[in-house]
Structure 1
Amino acid sequence: MSPLTSLTSPMTLTPTITVIVLFAALLHASWNALIKSGRDVLMDTALVAAGATTVAAPLLLFFAPPPLASWPYLLTSIVLHIGYYLTLVGTYRAGDMNLGYPLMRGIAPLLVALISVIVFHESLSPAMWLGIAGISGGIISLSLLAGNLHSGVRKVMLFAFANASLIAMYTMVDAAGVRQAGNAPNYVLWMSFLEGMPFAALVFWLRRRAFVAHARLHWRRGIIGGTFSMLAYGIALWAMTKAPTAAVASLRETSVIFAAFISAFLLKEKLSFARWLGAAMILGGIVALRQ
């Protein structure tokens, strides 16, 4: 079965899958908060990438490599993820988490939906389109209507749009790759092991002494963040073998609700009425996805 065929096969977003993907969203928001809460975003992002590789490495003894047919997707995803990490660092350096994170995660589901329909001919019901629009609109409003616009917002938006584009691309590549592999754990573990090394090696090459010193102090952050990152994306890819890609992609971006509370209570960033309104739009979108 080709990945294009598998992407068009009938799939359903069940209540069980919905709850599991929401848990993945919490994990995703948590590892992003770990990065943003640190003193050096670049170093912490590299630690998370290296942490995913470290956690995945011993597990490879129990999981065979995915089939050769899935490797072009896996290798393409690794390249896209390096760009993702770089634009993630740029976004968080340019502005607050409660501005950059919702922009990155809100634009991506719309791009995924368009790609899945135009390129992969995935069928989405009117209710799903409504749900995707509600989730993305609510997510984006968390940034644009929350009173945190400032003179540097253009730079944040440029980085965030670049990041969202990469998210959409690697999501579609991995959705096809994991279905081609026929086994989500094998694909995710090998991808997690391979994707972390190039970015961590790049940061090590650029700032060797600083990276080593940072890793000695904060290696636990890398292990925890890497584990959360691997689990969050692994769950999402598994869900994409069971439910429409665009629906899962939108649902996992509800991580911004968790991120909003994390940024408010742990990072002491403002949680305004407009952010509550955006959260309500997201919840409405989730309900529409389930219709």
Structure 2
Amino acid sequence: MSATTLPLLLCLLSAVTVALANFAVKRGGDVLSARMVLSITSALCVLPFAFFVPFPEAALWPAIAMAIGAHWVYQFFMIRALHRGDLSLVFPVMRGLAPLATAIIAVFALQEMPTLLGWAGLALATLALIVFALPAGKSLDQASLDRVALMWAGLTALGIGLYSVTDAYGVRLAENRFTFIVWLFMLDWLGTTAVTVWTRRGELFKRLRPQLIGGAVGGVSSVISYGAALLAFSMTDAATVTAMRETSVVFGAILGAVFLKEGFGPRRIVAACVLAAGLLLLETSL
């Protein structure tokens, strides 16, 4: 297997599983409680590996702390987006705008500059997102709700860009990249769990019970997805990984339309395909 093929396959695996993880969280109804189950499941999945990887060196802890903070910011925005909007709307927007956010942040933080063709791919993807997000045949109240959902989805994209860059930095800094991966998952659950316990106090177990299966499926999918992405981060540019990973928008929109009965339609089918094409154009340019 060539040096370029392995990162590509890792990113495609990450794309499918991240769409599945978000679908599992959205389908449960209470997104925050489902996300708590997902995060705890992810930590439990990697816990056995903590005994086999080196303990993080002192220089790595600040990078782990920055990455975890970025993940908490992303999770807050993502939970709000999934609460406010359909999966087939907010998922393509928040994941599709992420490569643009990642590329801009990486220019300053990692000195990774996309080519002219790469920026063209980002522009194409952004245009497709605008078309995808336009409300069709909805009331003014519903259109207003869509704008709020889109605002949170856009902020989620910024969060994805932030954690993509901090994670790329951390996994490259680590003497053993698996150490960074394991300890990121081991500590990431703390923020979501604390918020869930506080906001769902008095009815925590009632809220959690319906989310156990979906959250567990999402947790396993999340470990596979982001573990694959982190490995790819250590092999190629951050914007490349994010662009390929965000082809998950097509999978997420299809899952929302088929299983959650959310509107899709010909316009969104075309826009999702154009979006994927723009992201692939970015990937081939880097």
TM over 0.5: yes
Task: Map 1:4-153 onto structure 2 (within 5 A).
Answer: 14-144=4-134, 150-153=143-146
Instruction: Give the distance between the partners of 2:25 and 2:103, measured in 1 at CA.
Output: 28
Q: Deviations over 1:219-251 (max 9, x none)?
A: 232222112112211211211111111111111
Instruction: Give the distance between the partners of 2:254 and 2:3, measured in 1 at CA.
Output: 26
Match of 1:290? Answer: 284
Say whether residues 1:183 and 2:176 are aligned partners. Answer: yes
Q: Which amino acid aligns with 1:272?
A: G
Instruction: Give the distance between the partners of 2:115 and 2:127, measured in 1 at CA.
Output: 18
Greater shift after overlay, 107-116 or 138-147? 138-147
Match of 1:221 among 207, 210, 214: 214
Cα distance, 1:65 vs structure 2:
2.5
Instruction: Give the distance between the partners of 2:45 and 2:79, measured in 1 at CA.
Output: 22
Match of 1:260? Answer: 253
8 Å contact 1:175–1:237 — kept in the other structure? yes
Cα distance, 1:159 vs structure 2:
1.4
Greater shift after overlay, 258-267 or 145-154? 145-154
Structure 1 pair 138–120 and aligned structure 2 pair: CA distance change class (3 A): same
Unaligned runs of 5+ in 2: none
Greater shift after overlay, 198-207 or 132-141? 132-141
Instruction: Give the distance between the partners of 1:127 and 1:49, measured in 2 at CA.
Output: 37
8 Å contact 1:55–1:223 — kept in the other structure? no
Which ranges of 4 or more aligned residues in structure 1 deviate by more than 4 Å?
Answer: 145-149
Cα distance, 1:217 vs structure 2:
4.4
Instruction: Give the distance between the partners of 1:141 and 1:174, measured in 2 at CA.
Output: 31
Task: Map 1:141-180 onto structure 2 (within 5 A).
Answer: 141-144=131-134, 150-180=143-173
Report the RMSD for the aligned CA atoms in angstroms.
Answer: 2.3
TM-score by structure 1 length? 0.87
Greater shift after overlay, 56-65 or 144-153? 144-153
8 Å contact 1:13–1:290 — kept in the other structure? no
Alignment coverage as a number of residue pairs: 280
Structure 1 pair 116–147 and aligned structure 2 pair: CA distance change class (3 A): farther
Instruction: Give the distance between the partners of 2:280 and 2:159, measured in 1 at CA.
Output: 27
Greater shift after overlay, 145-154 or 15-24? 145-154
8 Å contact 1:91–1:156 — kept in the other structure? yes
Q: Deviations over 1:54-84 (max 9, x none)?
A: 2222221122233222211211221222222
TM-score by structure 2 length? 0.89
Q: Which amino acid aligns with 1:127?
A: L
Identical columns (%): 30
Match of 1:237 among 230, 243, 266: 230
Unaligned runs of 5+ in 1: 1-11
Structure 1 pair 287–203 and aligned structure 2 pair: CA distance change class (3 A): closer
Instruction: Give the distance between the partners of 1:65 and 1:132, measured in 2 at CA.
Output: 38
8 Å contact 2:102–2:165 — kept in the other structure? yes
Instruction: Give the distance between the partners of 1:98 and 1:57, measured in 2 at CA.
Output: 33
Structure 1 pair 51–93 and aligned structure 2 pair: CA distance change class (3 A): same
8 Å contact 1:98–1:142 — kept in the other structure? no
Instruction: Give the distance between the partners of 1:237 and 1:23, measured in 2 at CA.
Output: 12
**Does the residue aligned with 2:260 lie in a helix, a strand or coil?**
coil
Cα distance, 1:176 vs structure 2:
0.5
8 Å contact 1:135–1:250 — kept in the other structure? no
Match of 2:200 among 207, 219, 224: 207
Structure 1 pair 118–76 and aligned structure 2 pair: CA distance change class (3 A): closer
